[in-house]
Amino acid sequence: MPELNLPFFGHGGDYNPDQWRDRPDILKEDIRLMKLAGCNLMSVGIFAWSALEPEEGRFDFDWLEDVLDRFAENGIYAFLATPSGARPAWMSEKYPEVLRVREDGGRNLHGYRHNHCFTSPVYRKFVRRINTALAERFGHHPAVVGWHVSNEYGGACHCELCQEAFREFLKREYGTLDALNHAWWTGFWSKTYTDWSQLHSPSPVGERYVHGLTLSWKRFVTHQTVDFMRAEVEPLHRIAPHLPVTTNLMTLYEGLDPFRFAEVLDFASFDNYPNWGSADDEAEAAYAALNFDIVRNVLKRPFALMESTPSQVNWQEVCKLKKPGMHLLSSLHAVAHGADTVQYFQWRQSRGGWEKFHGAVVSHAGHEHTRTFRDVAEVGRVLPRLTGVLGASTPARAALIFDWDNRWALGDSQGPRRETHYEDTAFEHYRALKRCGVDIDVIDEGADLSSYALVAAPMLYMVKPGVAEKLESFVQKGGTLVATCRTGCVDRDDLCFLGGFPGPLRRLLGVWIEETDALYDGETNEIRMADGRACACSTLCDLIHAETARVLGEYGRDFYAGMPAVTVNDFGAGHAYYIATRPGVEFLADFYRSRLAEAGVAPLIRDLPAGVQAASRAGADGRYLFVMNFSGKPVQVQLPEGVNLLTGAAAGGTAELEVNGAAVVQIKEA
């Protein structure tokens, strides 16, 4: 499989010359401005289908060839897009089966983007034909270094073709209707299916209370989208086997399991849109880092930052400008967590349409004398200094399990609370680990754990086959596991474990969860630790019995005051912790600081100040430490000895980071 192996840091953005074909002066000026901004990599033609195939079967690629030729003459490269993210009106008009059908059974009108059926043979035929034509014409063009396949796949279609594909998927999953009926527990409310044809996607006007169905449908939507991408990629790989493919994934997007895209991606890529400057930049940065740490782990390789805004977005309630320094800081932040490119949406602001006020490198003013352009040009000057970082891996010894099947099952589960706050809880654990100043991998349940010293598995509600054994062997060999409330409740089919929760993890955690109390929003209980510390806890409180585990903390209130709230089970050479409720980030950060120290995972820098993040990458030429100030005030940090690649000056000892300041230290190895 080809990899993204650029010898330089890719820097650029979505470029939509199709919108400016009647302005050759602007297209020419773009090249001058790209060079001035230190931009060398553009994603071209993402939504250009109407321009590429204005009528069925009539292709017009000459304008694109002109653009790519001009790129090649000027040392600019391209991720060439396949245009399947939006399609021309003629197609919807003549072949309505390409239009998406909603869950209520109604077919959409033409409009917006990703409004198509991923199963439709007609849509697949059109996509295949244009992808083939693009690959034949440009697959060996000197400017093209990769494929940007479609754009932010998302959503689902409920048409008859998709229903049939869903039934085939279910036959492969379960083999027989008996097996499906058992797995979905269809005896409940008389749901038993007696023929495959009775199966239908979940719908507000039909079935949506069979959890096996809702979970299977979500799995199917990912499966079918991956299958669609595979079909898109086939002609690209066949005609241009040297070019790597990607599709841009979205921030913690619930609808698709990103880990399942591993089989169709040559490199992963991600669109990053934090709300910088809204309230708490440290939280925004932690959330972005969580996403980076997921995307990097899809293939366990560096990824492309496919989109970010050089200025403000246009789709928040209130769209803040990036404050001085934030553009370089946020770009370095992605690189720190494994990005090997820094790209934007978009290069030049569209003159009309829905995104005309979305930030872009070149604004409607049309020249380089803007704050945003200078910010981008600064990134363009800095990235070449970091060339040694390219391809470098993230040496994480701590991991957090965030699993989409688990997320879907928890999201559907009824009781003890409608909202279980899985995403929020996982984020709190991630943020606490981040505050400890360590590198983190965010992985799914299937991942290999052998490189980690500590694994956090918040709300591991669904324990899939083999996972309990894997966690046991991880701890047995000396690993530290941290589990929380709502763990070990259901199997892969969403059937409850019999014999007591946490089901297959009971031996490892050494606790039995007899009941779970639910707290109202704003209501708290209290954890009282044996060492005298106390903190509030919320959302869910498991009432547990320590079987082989030792009790480290108890509940402070309600009828279960005095029952265990935090336990540890010594298991083989390692330790399995159980936090039976949901404490806040402060408690968790303290907790993880101790666990990491015990597990021998040292922080990347000593005395990390509040609001400062650290991340590292390990490359052929040594280790690179990124220290980034999101605190909103100047801070002092302790840097290791080496060279600060941002300034070229020697680093070591106390250094001051200004507001939105950063240091990237190439560490001098002892």
In 10 A of CB 478, how many CB atoms?
Answer: 14
Of the residues 53, 232, 284, 307, only one is catalytic, namely 307
- Closest distance of CB 119 from Zn ion, Å: 5
313 binds, among Zn ion, ligand GLA, none (CB under 5 to 8 A by kind): ligand GLA
Distance (Å, whole) CA 128 – CA 327: 38
Q: Which H/E stretch holds residue 637?
A: strand 635-644
Q: Nearest 10 degrees: CA dihedral of 557, 563, 566, 569?
A: 180
Does residue 271 touch ligand GLA according to CB under 6 A? yes
Beta bridge partners of 564: 554
**Closest CB to Zn ion among residues 117, 268:** 117
Active site residue 526: no
Q: Which of residues 303-362 bind ligand GLA (CB under 6 A)?
A: 307, 313, 345, 355, 358
User: For residue 615, how far is the Cα from the chain centroid?
Assistant: 17
Q: Which of residues 604-643 bind Zn ion (CB under 5 A)?
A: none
Q: Which of residues 236-275 bind Zn ion (CB under 5 A)?
A: none
- Closest distance of CB 356 from ligand GLA, Å: 12
Distance linking the first and last C-alpha atoms of the chain? 37
Residue with tokens 């990237």: 664
**Closest CB to Zn ion among residues 86, 157:** 157
117 binds, among Zn ion, ligand GLA, none (CB under 5 to 8 A by kind): Zn ion
- Closest distance of CB 117 from Zn ion, Å: 3
Three-point CA angle 214, 216, 218, nearest 5°: 70
Number of residues that bind Zn ion (CB under 5 A): 6
Specify whether the CB–CB gap between 649 and 643 falls below 8 A. yes
Residue with tokens 């089966």: 97
Distance (Å, whole) CA 328 – CA 377: 10
- Closest distance of CB 407 from ligand GLA, Å: 21
Does residue 221 touch Zn ion according to CB under 5 A? no
Binding string, residues 122-161; x marks residues near Zn ion by CB under 5 A: -----------------------------------x-x-x
Q: Which of residues 616-635 bind ligand GLA (CB under 6 A)?
A: none
Beta bridge partners of 339: 303
Of the residues 53, 152, 232, 282, only one is catalytic, namely 152
Q: Nearest 10 degrees: CA dihedral of 379, 381, 382, 383?
A: 80
358 binds, among ligand GLA, Zn ion, none (CB under 5 to 8 A by kind): ligand GLA
Peptide bond into 416 cis (omega under 30): yes
- Closest distance of CB 163 from Zn ion, Å: 8
- Closest distance of CB 277 from ligand GLA, Å: 16
Distance (Å, whole) CA 564 – CA 568: 11
**Closest CB to ligand GLA among residues 307, 493:** 307
Residues making up the chain, counted from first to last: 670
345 binds, among Zn ion, ligand GLA, none (CB under 5 to 8 A by kind): ligand GLA
Distance (Å, whole) CA 531 – CA 443: 33
Specify whether the CB–CB gap between 289 and 612 falls below 8 A. no
Q: Which of residues 86-125 bind Zn ion (CB under 5 A)?
A: 117, 119
Residue nearest ligand GLA (C-beta atom):
271
271 binds, among ligand GLA, Zn ion, none (CB under 5 to 8 A by kind): ligand GLA
Nearest to 324 by CA among 374, 362, 273: 374
- Closest distance of CB 158 from Zn ion, Å: 7
**Closest CB to ligand GLA among residues 185, 273:** 273
Does residue 44 touch ligand GLA according to CB under 6 A? no
Specify whether the CB–CB gap between 249 and 268 falls below 8 A. yes
Active site residue 307: yes
- Closest distance of CB 525 from ligand GLA, Å: 40
In 10 A of CB 471, how many CB atoms?
Answer: 27
Sign of the CA dihedral with 649 first, then 655, 660, and 664 last: positive
Residue with tokens 């990235």: 383
Which residue from 82, 119, 150, 151 is in contact with ligand GLA, where contact means CB under 6 A? 151
Catalytic residue numbers, as ranges: 152, 307
Provide the binding-site residues for ligand GLA, judged by CB under 6 A: 151-152, 271, 273, 307, 313, 345, 355, 358
Provide the binding-site residues for Zn ion, judged by CB under 5 A: 117, 119, 157, 159, 161-162
